[in-house]
Structure 1
Amino acid sequence: MTEYEGRNAIIVSQRGLYSCRGRSDSGRQTYNSDNAIIKDTLPITAILTIQPNWTQIYMGETFTVICEIPGGEGTYWSYDWRPERFTTYYTTNERTFYNVGWEDNGNYQCRGNKGLSLTEWSNVIPVTISFKLHPVLTVSPSWLSPGASVTLSCEIEYPSEGWSYYWYKAIPNMDIKEEPYKYELLPDGSETAQTLYIITGQTHTAAYVCRAQRGRNYYYTYYSKPKFVWSADLYSAASLTVGPVEQRLGFDFVRLTCTGNSTWWRVRKFPENSVPYCSDVWNLGESVCTLYTVISYSDDGVYWCESMSKQFSNAVNITLQDFYSGPLMVIPDDPVKKGTFVSLSCNLRIKKIFPFVAFYHNNKLIQNDSREELNFLAVSKSDEGSYKCQYSGKESPSRWMSVKCE
């Protein structure tokens, strides 16, 4: 033992138990301090491994760290562990962490502890816990010909790391308080090793999901978002029809109507960036959904109907821009009074600098110039009938004007 130049520290060169006590100039002494254990450091470095040897660990999974002492077989060892928040002086060389969370993040190390001898600290294994995984499902083709084969592909982070896959059909859920779909396992869709699943003979609109699993404790990912295979087959058990563009009370609209052998229906749309007020709401009997085309182009998308009896209708790809591109005939909703001034107009969606508009009454051309209005100074009963306008090669839907005598 060598005395240190300072009065309250020493440097030691032998292992053992050490304590200290203080003494004043008058000779009074303190009690002895707690013992400090000085151990030898062996010229051995512990080796730390992790099982399973994933490069990424997700919340809810389980992993085990194993501490090995080279040449230490048959010798009694205890083990110290890092991070320091974990209990040290473990008597086994394995530690298992179940249902891991954020608190299990850290740089893991171990060392062997035998009496007054210690090994060097092991290599560092950094453990980073990530959010539970969301797989991504793709389908090909998304629009199918009746009877075609459909390929489902489940994409996942680090796909080579021991995953197996589960494949499901999405079924409409009747409980509006729960998720829109519940899932039924497809035939031979349990714990497959392949990231692809092929469906043969698909004829109607359908929805699918996937998820993945790995590890001896059966860690499951979330379900993927449902992906749809759409069919335009008009002879399916359910039917979606799209009505013509109409105008009423200053709004342009088109109606979608669901029919079939079921009691309850709902209209669905993809993408879900803009969902009509009637979408995802179960309706008793025939379900009617109204799209107001003047509001937003974001209503563009694929529409279909679903029933509580698991039926899917044909799908319709609606582009409201098509409705915007043509003119609309604007006519009073209520009958007009005979002898009064009445003005009809042609609503031009895409307007040129010098428009050239044609008006028709009962399919007979009655005005063709740059005016966008058709005016009647004193409307008569003979003016009653069907009106439409034509502009830039496109024709509006016909509208009926009624004339009352009083």
Structure 2
Amino acid sequence: MKMFGNFMILAQGLSVLLLSGLTVSEVYLNVSPNRLEFFIRESLSLTCLDDGQPAVGWTAMKHSGGHNLCRPGLRDFGTVNGSSVILSDLDNKDTSFYWCEDRNGQRSEYVTIQIEDHAILDIPARPVIIGSNLTLHCIMRNGSTVAAYFFINGSLVVPGPEPEPQTELNIRNVQKSDEGSYSCVATTYGRSPRSRLRVRDPPSAPTPPPPPIHLRVSVNVTPSLQQFFTNGPYISVTCVEDGQTVDDWMVMRTIENKTVECGGSCADFDRFIVSYCSLAFYLNFTGVYWCESKSGLKSDQVTITLTDEHLILEIPALPVVTGSDVTLRCKNRKDGTVSANFFKDGILVGDKVQEFTISKVQQSDEGLYSCSTDETGSSPQSRLRVRDPEETPPSTESAS
């Protein structure tokens, strides 16, 4: 307990240190391998990332021993290799704190890395997304798994009069309540360090462009859904008016802050014929789509999501008219429609049901919907859009 108390004092001191700068959530410190605990003589790399790419102008920083603040390449703080810092041949049992910082003093969240010589817990360095599944193991120096007792916040996870050691700890459908300090104890190899499991909300749906001008021309998706599995069918996106494809309009999309026209890049779109676009399942076509005329007039827009996870939410691509009924379903990659929990803006609205029906849809039903199961985690989030049937959009001629 004394060592853990010193660990807490060090963590509190670092918290005061980091509060002196602005914390930036977009930039994060990536640890590879993705663990918080390592054995003596192991190696790891640290990289400052922004949206999965090296963050320009950001540097990995270290706080160790209570006071020492070191930059990469100095004293005992690794070697610089491109945009990464390599810590090789770790040689001391140690608890150190690492984060990313730029020249203006902006800082990412910090990561606590601990070095041990007997047993470690393979707990991830990156936060775990709510609704996902997680398995923890107690491992030995040679990398093999060993049966152990698992603890959270100092309490045995599977208590009992005669508890048995477990080969792994499974946490299904991770929730914020699962956040805490985890450790394992192997009878022969001793106790691992304590490391904190961090839990985060799933990323929100891509932010759409500013509200478009509502025209008679609309963007039509076939099948009329917003979420699709990888290895699925081709998806077509067309510009239509009164159910007919219109000329002189182009399908546009924004993905990863880049806006392109259909056919503008061979890697982005499979094939196109002016106002018709076919998306291949093996390409990443997640983004915001709309139709646009040569004069700059725009249709309504829709967010299409391609996922390689296990669940999708069947939610209509086009807006739902107020007063009508809409049914949402949760679809498993292997089993089709499954019973699931349904969420609106992160709040549970349907508990383990085969389908979720909204009768006489109103404007208040508009929002971000998702579904989840205990076995396979969560689907992406998609927005249900609601329109008033009495709202008559202007014609393409009068809109100009």
Both proteins in one fold, TM over 0.5: no
Under a length normalisation based on structure 2, what TM-score does the superposition of the two structures give?
A: 0.30
Bigger relative contact order, structure 1 or 2 (CA pairs below 8 A, ≥6 apart): 2
Q: TM-score, normalised by structure 1?
A: 0.30
Higher Cα Rg, which structure? 1
